[in-house]
Amino acid sequence: MLRQALPALPATTGTLLLMVIMGTMWGLQFSMLKRAGQGGYSDLTLITFALVLLSVAFLALSAARGEIIRPERRLLAFFLVTAILGYIVPLGATLYAATVLDAGILTMIACLSPVIAVAAALVLRVESVSFRRSVAVGLGCISVGLITLPEFEMRGFGHLPWIAVAIIVPLCYGFESIYVSRFWPVGMTPLQAVTGETLVAALIVFPVFLLHGDPGLRTIKWSGAEFALLVFVAAGIIEGIAYFRIIQSSGAVFVNFGSFVGLVSGVCWGMVLFSETHGPNVWIAVAILVAALALATQSRTAGGSSRNPAGSGDSDDSPGFR
């Protein structure tokens, strides 16, 4: 049997901590990518370098832990879909939209992935969604709006075509998590999953990079930009493993709440690394986010157990949506 549907179990404290770490690393990656972009390299070069370095790191970790992926044809479809939805399409959409939209707007749009995941779970009937988690999605959207709507008010809505392209990003992330949860290969570990996804993405991007080339590669200097790329890769290793581990343990809907953490994390990293300042609306958004995460991790306990006896879906005081 090739695939197994993963049960969506109530999130534990450990899973919540893992999600916070994942979101923190995700926010750090945005800041590091911004810093690396100041080094004069093209977007294609940065993406190619990042994917190649991530692939090498994941392959080394897999070998060290004895979790090497065997090149089986039956796994190719899974890795191809996750590479396209997790890296290729969203990165391409981001690069195109970034020529016009600010990073803050792009981050906000990417944070819509929990909404996409909940909608996809309900429409495709692949995972039950509790009332609490649905409310948590709404609260998370409110926190995103508090941070980014002032930006819209200042710059207007004249960039709608690029915003439409940017919406492809959360669509990909939301559907990828649903796909991974539904078609997880039997016996595959989170490290093997992220290694296969990253390696296939690198193999797709690298030939494109070779065709277009980049003269900047002849003058590589170890400055802040290059070190920022290394930090980006290190954060990507932690984030990637955490992403698949959370899907494996708590389902596709819950993992997308990490994007809310990532938005606040990105704001905080910007303050630390770029001396950015923010108004009270940001801190109100943080408080709402804490409430959203609390709702997302709560579940009804029956007989002292927080685990759903049926082995799938979210437990809740209210009936789960299907």
Using CA atoms, how far apart are residues 224 and 227, in angstroms rounded to an integer?
5
pLDDT at 287: 78
Q: What is the rounded end-to-end Cα distance, in angstroms, of the chain?
A: 26
**Domain ranges within the chain, ordered by starting residue:** 3-297
Using CA atoms, how far apart are residues 92 and 161, in angstroms rounded to an integer?
15
Q: What is the pLDDT of residues 57-99, one digit of tens each?
A: 999 999 998 988 877 777 889 999 999 998 888 877 876 777 6
SS3 33: helix
Contact 86, 240 (CB under 8 A): no
Tokens of 182: 């539904």
Q: What is the pLDDT of residues 117-149, one digit of tens each?
A: 777 777 777 666 677 777 877 887 787 777 667
Using CA atoms, how far apart are residues 125 and 5, in angstroms rounded to an integer?
12
Q: In Å, how far are 12, 43, 180, 203, 226 from 3, measured between CA atoms?
A: 25, 35, 10, 24, 40
Nearest CA to 9 out of 179, 225, 248, 206 is that of: 248
287 strand-pairing partners:
none
Tokens of 224: 């802040």
pLDDT at 59: 93
Instruction: State the Rg of the chain over Cα.
Output: 19
Q: What is the DSSP letter of 129?
A: B
Using CA atoms, how far apart are residues 49 and 55, in angstroms rounded to an integer?
10
Using CA atoms, how far apart are residues 308 and 100, in angstroms rounded to an integer?
46
Q: Give the amino acid at 258.
A: G
Question: Higher confidence at residue 128 or residue 308?
Answer: 128
Using CA atoms, how far apart are residues 158 and 136, in angstroms rounded to an integer?
30
pLDDT at 8: 46
Q: In Å, how far are 6, 12, 268, 319 from 310, measured between CA atoms?
A: 13, 17, 40, 14
pLDDT at 204: 92
pLDDT at 293: 66
Using CA atoms, how far apart are residues 27 and 29, in angstroms rounded to an integer?
5
Contact 94, 169 (CB under 8 A): yes
pTM of the model: 0.72
Question: Higher confidence at residue 108 or residue 204?
Answer: 204
pLDDT at 299: 47
